[in-house]
Every structure is written in structure tokens, then in C-alpha cells.
Chains A and B, each alone.
Chain A
Amino acid sequence: MGLERGNLLAGALALTLGLWGPLAHAETKLRVFIGGQQRPDVVRPLLDRYQAAHPGVSVELEVGGATSDLQQQYLTTVLGSGDSAIDVMLIDVVRQAQYAAAGWAEPLDPYLGDDRQKLLADYLPVYAEANQVGGRLIAMPAFADALFLYYRKDLLEKHGLAPPRTWDELKAAAKKIQAAEGSKDLQGISFQGKPIEGAVCTFLVPYWGAGGSLADAEGRFQLDRTAGEKAFDLWLEMISDGIAKKNVAEVATDDTRKEFQAGNVVFAVLWAYGWSHFQNDPDSRVKDKVGVVPLPGFAGGPSATCIGGWEWAVSAFSEHKQEAAALVRFLSGPEGVKHLAIEASNLPVLTAMYQDPEVLATNPWFKDALSVVESARARPKSPRYPEISEVIRVNVNAVLAGVKAAPEAVGDMDARLSRLIR
């Protein structure tokens, strides 16, 4: 009996040691969530580098959701239930206000300490500002973005055309090339009409270009109906003229990228990530045939673009906030930003990076992109942004599909947005 008892004790001791052994010199496991569209193949090596430099920290990468909306849907279920499974997540530039209001993001100010101001000064002002809600730093910038006009350099040169500066020039150029090339499958322009986040910018770009603004001088909501209708009419004319395909209401962001990449599009309204795909993907038929310029404006008006980009946030439910904040600081620092710029053609959020010779070697067009990003405008900032976005995108989709007339859609948007934005 005594012997048995001794064995049992020894066994229990061994078991306890076995369990505690790995924990004693254990690593902190951090879990990072990004979407499928944010190039996990590029982010993983960056995390490996961080692990190598920080023994005791291991970083897992979780990938899910191919669009901003689907990523958010997943994060909503995780964060809404207060789950600690995710430590660090990449969030779209439109979401900080919601995260701050819901208490999902850990404010990063205490983790940066005295460096905060100095650190933020290195970033493009628009991103330093976008990540602060009520004076608290909700996230750190990962990469910048804006909508650009991609064009087929080879086709424009062949037909003796310069990159368009106005929408009218674009329409004329597209028509000329489509007629001359004679291919039924060649689209003049591709943009996003599907009811997804991207459709919000499809409306705002020409709306801003036509002089519209969502806030008056006192910062109260207003919708300029004339500019709204002008914005819709621009796209509708392109559809009726055959420049855009008739089912552009089904086109999501990455559809534009794929169709341009397959050589079926002359002009594309797209974010910066397209460049790396066009230049490097094995199936790209447009390698070295692509140019990037700012989006056109209306004749005599300014060129406007929508600001994009993604931010690193630390979950308020993380059990390793200190370590997570350190990782976020690394990812949003020079090493992380440069890696994403070179490997994924993600626009840098650090101003100095636009002069970096290595970055410019892979992305020559970045040198002209800084001014575009700096002048890009932000979508409304609100904890109820998802509802605002939904009103705009459903109406954009309905108008482009021809289900709703433009004046009616603008009226509906005005009525519903005025209740959401105060």
C-alpha cells in the first residue's frame, strides 16, 4: 500500500512537472488576425523576423475573410463575446470610431509612454489623426492607401493618348481604344458597384470631385443633391455608353483587379495593392504595361480620392496586451512598413519612406503617390459607420443596376444619413 501510494505521488509529481515544465520557460503566444486580401504570404515572414528577434514570443497568424466586411463580421463575433483568442488585428481605416465606442480596442497611449508624440510625428498626418478617437490612440497605421487610376500604358501609347486628367478625357480615350481594338471583352473602365465597402468610395470620389461634402462649415451633416446626382450620372453614362460593363453592379474590388490583370480593362479605379499583383503574379498579362495616375476630376474641378489603409489594433480582451502592443509597434515601425511596401506594394504610412530608394525601385510610381495620399479624403468618422456605409452602398448598387433613379437614391440617402450622422 505504501509503495503504491509512493508511486502515485511520484506519478502526480511527474505529471505536475510535465505540465508546468513548458510553462516555466514558456513563450507568450500572440495571435494576429488579418484578412486574405492582406497578403498573409507577405506578413508571415515579417512575423518570423519578429519571433527571431524576440525569443519567448511566438506569433500565430490567423487568416479569414476576403473583404473588409467579412473580416469585420468575424471580428464582431469574437470581440462581441469578449473572447481573448485574438491579440492583434488589422482593421480598416473606417472602423476606429466603432472600436473605440464598443471598447474593443485597447488604447495604445500608455504603452508608448513619452515616445507617443515623437512617434506619431513620423506618420502621414492623416493617419496619425485617423487613429485617434477622443484623444486616445486606438490603433497604429499599418499601410496607407488611396484609390488611383490604373491604365494600360501600352494601349494608350499605341493609340497616341496621354493619361486622362478629366473624366471626359477618360471617356473619349476609352471609347477610342475600345473601338480600335475591336474586342467585345475589352472594358473601358472597371470600378466597384457591388454593395460592399468599396461602393461607398465609388459614390464619394465623383461626389467630392463635383464639389460635394458630407459636412457643412459647422461640421453638421449635409448632402449636396446636385453633386450626388452628378456623381451617379458619371457612372451611369459610362454604363450606357458601353465603357463600363452593364453588370458593373456585380463587381467587387478584387474583381476589378482580376479583370485588369487578365488584360480585359483599359482603366481601373483601384487601391495600391493592385500594382504588386500586376507586376509579379505569374498569370498577369499586363506586366510592365501598367501606369498609375491620380483619379481624374470633372472638367475644371479638382481630382478627389478616397483614403484607405489598414491599422494594427490590440484587442481589449487580449491576455498579453504588453507584448501585443510591442508587436504592433514593430509592425507599424519602419521595418514593418518597408517590408509591406516592397513585398506587397502597400503604400507607406511613414512620410520618409516615400524617399526610400529600395521602396521606389520596386514601386516607381510611389514618388508621385505621396501628394495623392496627402490630399485624399476620409469617409465619415462615426461609431455607427456600418449603418452609414450600408445606406450609401445599397443605393449605389441600386442606381448602377438601374433599379432606382439617381435623384430618388440621393433623396433616400439624404433622409437616412441625416438621421445617422449628427
Chain B
Amino acid sequence: MASTTRRSRRDIGEGVLAALLLAPAGALLALIVLFPILRLFWLSLHEVRLSEPWAGQPFVGLLNYRDIWADSRFWRSLAHTLLITGITVPGALCVGLGLAFLANLPFRVRWPVRLALLLPWALPLVFSGLIFAWFFDTSYGVVNDVLARLGLEGPAWLSRPGPAMAAICIAIVWKTSSFCALVLLAGLQTIPDTLHEAAAIDGAGRWQRFRHITLPLLRPAIMVALIFRTITAIQTFDIPFAMTRGGPGDATETLAMYVRTTTLDFLDFGYGSALAVVMFLISMAATAWYLRWIRGTSE
């Protein structure tokens, strides 16, 4: 009798203890993740114009979302964002894969290679943007200088829509491929050499080994890289802001830049919040799709 009481008390105790131990982390998460998201959504249902405080903050339901649907600037900035995502995610993954293989080669001194890998990753985004803005400067930039030495006349990179978008994508791929490389390098190092050796003995060529051993075993790392890279690509802001400010016209304005302009320049926090919610939903959808894809292919 006594022993069962003690036991059940201990069971309850464990449950309570678990809840108690998790509570601080849970509270912290709710405070710094859940609360801002909910507040953002709540704001998006209101009209909040700091420039017109006398108008108050009336509840307007889904009006802001209806305006977004009819807002051609939203669709243009969304198209630019998706274009950047579509180019720079695969781009950074391919370049990153190459870099990861390079860093995984049995050099005698590997640390300089790995340091070189880390540097672009450690650099603040806006610095990369400023550096590349100089590279692509029409008059003083190194890109047009090299082209001139080859006898070609380079374009006014940042004031033509196509070249400006290309320059931005190049800068983003340079900046983000090192992150992909780091993740992929970690994945590569978990693949035992014995598998390659066994396959080599069985007569598998280099390509076959890559195709049938490295790639399948690297899949989880590739997924992690893809998810993180896609989310940051959807949020692209710093590099185009530093390089073109969205110009020429609004040819390189991304969704995140439009959110900033709406809130911080126009002080329209209601509409800006609604735009931010849409951006958040797009990120969520992309992540959910990746996760489903992983589950689908791993079964």
C-alpha cells in the first residue's frame, strides 16, 4: 500500500517535474517567437498609420489582404523575390557542393581552405552588398575593367534591370554558398571511406560512386542546406538594398524591401504587417513542402 502511494506520487512528480523543467524554455519561446508572430497577424487586421494618429487603429478585418491582392507592386516584388530564390538557391547549393568537396580533399594543410570557406559566411550581408556594388560599378568597378581589358564594353550594371538582377544574384551566391558548403562538408565527413573503398574494389567509377554513395548519403545535409537557404532567399533584403536600393525604378525590389518601405518610410504598419504575414506564409509553405518531400522520399 505504502509503496504504491509512493510510486504514484513519484509518477505525478515526474510529469510535473518535466512540465516545470520545460516551462522556462516554453515561456521564452512563446515570448520571443509566438508573441511577435501573433502580434504581427493581429496588427495586419488593423489600419495602423503612424502618420495619422488621429485616425486611431480601427479593426479592418481582411481589408489589408484584399489590397495586397490588387497591389501590382506586391506582385512585382514577389516575382523578383521568387526569381532570386529560384536562381540563388540552386546556385549556392551547386557552388557550395563544389567547395565542400574541395575542402574535403586530403590536403596536408586543410585549415586555409576551411578558413576561406568561412569568411564570406562571417561577413555581414550588407558589407557583401557594398563590396559587390563596387565590383559592378560602371566607371570604377573591377568587372568592367576586366571586360575592357578583354576589349568588351561592360554595361551600366546597376542601372539596367537584367544586369542589375544578375549582379545581385552573383553577390548572393558568393555570399551564401559558403553556408551551404559548411553544411555539406559536415555531411560529407559522416560518409565512411570504407564504402568508397568497397565500391572501388567492386569496380565502381568516380561518377558511379558519387551518384550511388555520396549523393544518397548526403541527402539529409542537402535538405538542411536547401531549407535554410530557401528561407533566407525569400527574405532577401540586405544585398539588393545595398547594391541598387531596388532600382532601376523598382526592377530589383524584393518583398522584404517593400515591407520595410511600407512600414519604416510610409509608417503604414497595418499594411506592412499584412505584407510580412504573406511573406511568413510563403516561407512556411516552402519549408512544409521540403519536409513532406523528405518524408516522401525517405520511405
Binding site for B on A (CB under 8 A): 69, 72-73, 76-77, 80, 98, 101-103, 185, 193-196, 245-250, 383-384, 386-387, 390, 394-395, 397-398, 400-404
- Whether A102 lies near B267 (C-beta < 8 A) is yes
Take A250-B159, A403-B161 as given contacts and tell me if A394 and B265 are in contact as well, using a CB distance cutoff of 8 Å: no
- Whether A386 lies near B266 (C-beta < 8 A) is yes
- Please, how many angstroms separate the alpha-carbon atoms of A192 and B265 in the complex? 20
Partner pick for B52 among A77, A185, A195, A383, CB 8 A cutoff: A383
Partner pick for B53 among A102, A394, A401, CB 8 A cutoff: A102
Cβ-closest chain A residue relative to B54: A101
- Please, how many angstroms separate the alpha-carbon atoms of A395 and B139 in the complex? 23
20 A-B pairs in the complex with CB atoms less than 8 angstroms apart: A69-B265, A77-B264, A98-B51, A102-B50, A102-B51, A102-B53, A195-B247, A196-B245, A246-B159, A247-B156, A249-B156, A249-B247, A250-B137, A386-B266, A394-B250, A395-B249, A400-B248, A402-B159, A403-B161, A403-B249
Report chain A residues within 8 Å CB of B266.
384, 386-387, 390
Q: Which 4 A-B pairs have the closest CB atoms?
A: A398-B249, A401-B248, A247-B156, A249-B159
Most chain B CB atoms below 10 A, which of A103, A193, A386: A386
Take A194-B245, A394-B250 as given contacts and tell me if A73 and B138 are in contact as well, using a CB distance cutoff of 8 Å: no
Determine how close the nearest CB of chain A comes to the CB of B42; give it in whole angstroms.
17
Report chain B residues within 8 Å CB of A249.
156, 159, 247-248
Determine how close the nearest CB of chain B comes to the CB of A198; give it in whole angstroms.
12
Cβ-closest chain B residue relative to A389: B265
Most chain A CB atoms below 10 A, which of B157, B158, B248: B248
Partner pick for A250 among B156, B249, B261, B265, CB 8 A cutoff: B156
Q: Is B160 an interface residue (CB 8 A)?
A: yes
Q: Is B222 an interface residue (CB 8 A)?
A: no
Take A101-B51, A103-B53 as given contacts and tell me if A194 and B139 are in contact as well, using a CB distance cutoff of 8 Å: no
Secondary structure type dominating chain B contacts: loop
- Whether B51 lies near A247 (C-beta < 8 A) is no
Report chain A residues within 8 Å CB of B161.
401, 403
Take A401-B159, A403-B248, A404-B249 as given contacts and tell me if A247 and B264 are in contact as well, using a CB distance cutoff of 8 Å: no
Cβ-closest chain A residue relative to B133: A250
- Please, how many angstroms separate the alpha-carbon atoms of A401 and B250 in the complex? 11
- Whether A195 lies near B245 (C-beta < 8 A) is yes
Q: Is B270 an interface residue (CB 8 A)?
A: no
- Please, how many angstroms separate the alpha-carbon atoms of A400 and B160 in the complex? 10
User: 11 extra interchain contacts, Cβ-Cβ under 8 A, other than A387-B266, A403-B161?
Assistant: A69-B265, A72-B265, A73-B264, A102-B51, A246-B156, A246-B159, A386-B51, A397-B249, A400-B159, A401-B247, A402-B159
- Please, how many angstroms separate the alpha-carbon atoms of A101 and B251 in the complex? 32
- Please, how many angstroms separate the alpha-carbon atoms of A404 and B160 in the complex? 11
Determine how close the nearest CB of chain A comes to the CB of B249; give it in whole angstroms.
3
- Whether B52 lies near A397 (C-beta < 8 A) is no
Cβ-closest chain A residue relative to B161: A403
Determine how close the nearest CB of chain A comes to the CB of B199; give it in whole angstroms.
53
- Whether A101 lies near B52 (C-beta < 8 A) is yes
How does the 8 Å CB contact mask read for B238-250 relative to A, with 1 for contact and 0 for none? 0000000111111
Determine how close the nearest CB of chain A comes to the CB of B87; give it in whole angstroms.
20
Partner pick for A247 among B139, B246, B250, B251, CB 8 A cutoff: B139
- Please, how many angstroms separate the alpha-carbon atoms of A347 and B249 in the complex? 33
Take A73-B264, A394-B249 as given contacts and tell me if A247 and B52 are in contact as well, using a CB distance cutoff of 8 Å: no
- Whether A76 lies near B267 (C-beta < 8 A) is yes
Cβ-closest chain A residue relative to B157: A247
Report chain A residues within 8 Å CB of B248.
249, 397-398, 400-403
- Whether A245 lies near B138 (C-beta < 8 A) is yes
Residues of B146-200 contacting chain A, CB below 8 A: 156-161
- Please, how many angstroms separate the alpha-carbon atoms of A395 and B161 in the complex? 14
Report chain A residues within 8 Å CB of B251.
398, 403
- Whether A185 lies near B51 (C-beta < 8 A) is no
- Please, how many angstroms separate the alpha-carbon atoms of A69 and B50 in the complex? 17
Report chain A residues within 8 Å CB of B52.
101, 383
Report chain A residues within 8 Å CB of B245.
194-196
Determine how close the nearest CB of chain B comes to the CB of A245; give it in whole angstroms.
7
- Please, how many angstroms separate the alpha-carbon atoms of A245 and B138 in the complex? 9
Report chain A residues within 8 Å CB of B265.
69, 72-73, 76, 386-387, 390
- Whether B51 lies near A383 (C-beta < 8 A) is yes
Report chain A residues within 8 Å CB of B246.
195, 394
- Please, how many angstroms separate the alpha-carbon atoms of A103 and B251 in the complex? 35
- Please, how many angstroms separate the alpha-carbon atoms of A6 and B276 in the complex? 60
Report chain A residues within 8 Å CB of B249.
394-395, 397-398, 401, 403-404
- Please, how many angstroms separate the alpha-carbon atoms of A78 and B57 in the complex? 20
Cβ-closest chain B residue relative to A259: B139
Cβ-closest chain B residue relative to A76: B264
Report chain B residues within 8 Å CB of A76.
264-265, 267
Report chain B residues within 8 Å CB of A73.
264-265
- Whether B159 lies near A245 (C-beta < 8 A) is no
How does the 8 Å CB contact mask read for B126-152 relative to A, with 1 for contact and 0 for none? 000000000001110000000000000
- Whether B267 lies near A386 (C-beta < 8 A) is yes
Cβ-closest chain B residue relative to A385: B51
Report chain B residues within 8 Å CB of A185.
139
Determine how close the nearest CB of chain A comes to the CB of B152; give it in whole angstroms.
16
